[in-house]
Amino acid sequence: MSQGNRIAPMVLMVLATIHVQAQVAEMSGNVLTAQSLIELASQAPAQEMRNQARLLEAQSTLESARRWWIPSAVIGGQSFSREGSSMNVAGEILPDVVARNSQWMAELRLGGDVAQSWTAQESAGFHQEAVTWEVAAERDQRILACMAAFVAAVASAQDEALHAASIEAWRQYEQELNWLVESGLRPRSEALSAASERLHLESQVLQLRAAREAMLAALWSVLGVQETMPLSVDWPVLKALFSKDATAVWPEQSALVARIDQAESLQNGLTRELWLPELRFSPMLNGFGADFSSLAPTTQWVGALMWSIPLDRLLPGGDKGQAAAQVAFRQADALAWDQEHAAQLTSLDRRVALLNEALVQQSASVSQADEALAQSLDRESQGLVTPFERIQLERQSLRAHTTLNSIQSDVLLLEMMRALESGAQWALD
């Protein structure tokens, strides 16, 4: 690879990184929200650089196909020199004969197969369209993956806050038990059991932090930036994540359709080669020097219009069979996408409906658990509830809240997936 070819990708990477870092700097002092995450994920430096390279390659292929008419230039010259004896037509030997000659030539050569040029341009155009849609589809999936990590991190942060509050309740309960153990009113086993439960909760907090660090590390690596801002702990608002203009356009499906058009173009190109001609045009200018210096430069115009008929195109199989197979492959991919899309959308509708019902039930469970815990605290102050009964209600409340967080994160992620499957587009500026 030449030095220029190595520098260009590096410049693209640096510019993309600077742009993302500038966006992060603008948001410094704030928290990383779902809306800002969408913008950052859509312009991730490494992926953006790769996508720009793919689009540039597709555009260059189309431009190369359109330049079939540009001729090639041939410029050359030759020189001839001979010294010695020679014999003329009369059979006489002539000594010390010097013969010199020089010739120069300039020529433009244009040779174009109309069928191949037509097919190349048409196929390259469909290829460019397919690449554009493929880049958009990959961008949408990248944003969805980042949003999944973001939602999981939010759920983890909320679980950590719940566990931290529960740890304080267990620490207080443990202190009460230690006082009762020292007073000889309770066995030491109960205090040890409370200490074990508290340590277990502290271990879970550390596990939640470790898991969140892994999620954030993967997130920052995709975004191409370092962690420079805290993460929002609020659940994303679904409607704010997607554009208000419903397009019902699926980039992946559009890419598959463009690939079908490309395969059909190549197939049709085999038929074009049977009836479209091949053009050749070659104007030439040459001149002589030395012994022929008196001759003026001469011009020569050579043009040809030829039909090259590949007879194998008239037979089944061969290139025709391969082209037909490529069309069938592309059509099968599109059909498989349609089937998978329909099944996925139906499944998402059912799963979202079931989890929403579970969310309603779990919300009621949380309300009941919190109410029971609040009443136990009031009754405990009156001596009607033991600390052991109260801490069991604390455990039940923690379990209810963590389950609610888990269902909320699942529902939110599934609703994002359903929105994309329904043709929604991310809210990009």
Instruction: Quote the domain boundaries for residue 52.
Output: 3-420
* Cβ-contact 240, 269 below 8 angstroms: no
Q: How many domains does the chain have?
A: 1
Q: Which residues contact 121 (CB under 8 A, 6 or more apart)?
A: 62, 65, 66, 68
Question: d(Cα 220, Cα 30) in Å, to the nearest integer?
Answer: 16
Task: Specify if 347 maps to a domain.
Answer: yes
Q: What is the pLDDT of residues 46-95, one digit of tens each?
A: 888 888 999 999 999 999 888 888 888 888 887 877 787 777 777 778 78
Task: Specify if 427 maps to a domain.
Answer: no
Look up the CATH number of the domain holding residue 274. Answer: 1.20.1600.10
Please compute the mean of the pLDDT values over residues 174-195 and round it to a whole number. Answer: 80
Question: d(Cα 133, Cα 28) in Å, to the nearest integer?
Answer: 33
pTM: 0.79
Sheet containing 298-306, strands listed edge to edge, beginning at the edge strand earlier in sequence? 72-87, 93-113, 278-288, 298-306
Task: Specify if 428 maps to a domain.
Answer: no
Task: Specify if 429 maps to a domain.
Answer: no
User: If pLDDT is split at 50, 70 and 90, which confidence band does 3 have?
Assistant: very low
Question: d(Cα 246, Cα 254) in Å, to the nearest integer?
Answer: 16
Task: Specify if 201 maps to a domain.
Answer: yes
Task: Specify if 385 maps to a domain.
Answer: yes
Nearest Cα residue to 112 out of 308, 401, 258: 308
Backbone angles phi, psi at 379, to 5 degrees: -70, -30
Is the predicted pLDDT of residue 339 greater than 90, yes or no? yes
The pLDDT assigned to 375 comes to: 83
